[in-house]
Structure 1
Amino acid sequence: LPGSVFLGFVAIFPFFAIKAGVNDQFAQFYGGTSLLIMVGVVLDTLQQVEQYLIMRHYDGLMKTGRIKGRSSVGGAITG
C-alpha cells in the first residue's frame, strides 16, 4: 500500500507543481523518473548505513565474546 501511494504521488506531483506556479521544466524534472531515481538512491544509501552499523555492532560482540550487560554469574542455561 505505501508503494502504491508513493507512485500515485509521483504521477500527480508535476501537475500540482505546475498549478502552483512552478516553472514547467522544473516540475517535469522533479516529477516521474528522476524523482523515483533520487528516492531509490536515498533508500539504498540508508540501507547501506544501517548494515554498516549492524556489522559494527556484531564486530564488537565477536571481540568480547559475550553480550554486554550479561554476566556469567547465575549458572549456565541447560537445555
Structure 2
Amino acid sequence: MTTTYTLQDGGKITATCAADFVTKLRESSRFDSQCTDQEYMYHFADRFHDQTGNVIRADSPEHFLEDLKLYKYLNIE
C-alpha cells in the first residue's frame, strides 16, 4: 500500500512504508542527502528541535514518522 504525504513546505512524498518515507525525504534534502537514513533522522530531529522545541524520535523510521505526524510536519492524503 502506498501513502502520499504532504509536507509543511508543500512538497509531496509517496511511500510504501516508514523506511521508504525516510529514504525519500533524505534524498530530497538540501542538507543531508548523502547521509545514511539513520544519520538523516538524527540530523533532522536536531534541526526540528532547534526550530520548534519539539522532540522527534529518531530511533526508528516508524517513530520518526509518527512524531512528524504528531507535530504536523506532514499530512496524509
Fold-level similarity (TM above 0.5)? no
- Which structure's relative contact order is higher, taking Cα pairs within 8 Å and 6+ residues apart? 2
Instruction: Looking at secondary structure, tell me which structure has more helix per residue.
Output: 1
Q: TM-score, normalised by structure 2?
A: 0.28
Instruction: Looking at secondary structure, tell me which structure has more strand per residue.
Output: 2
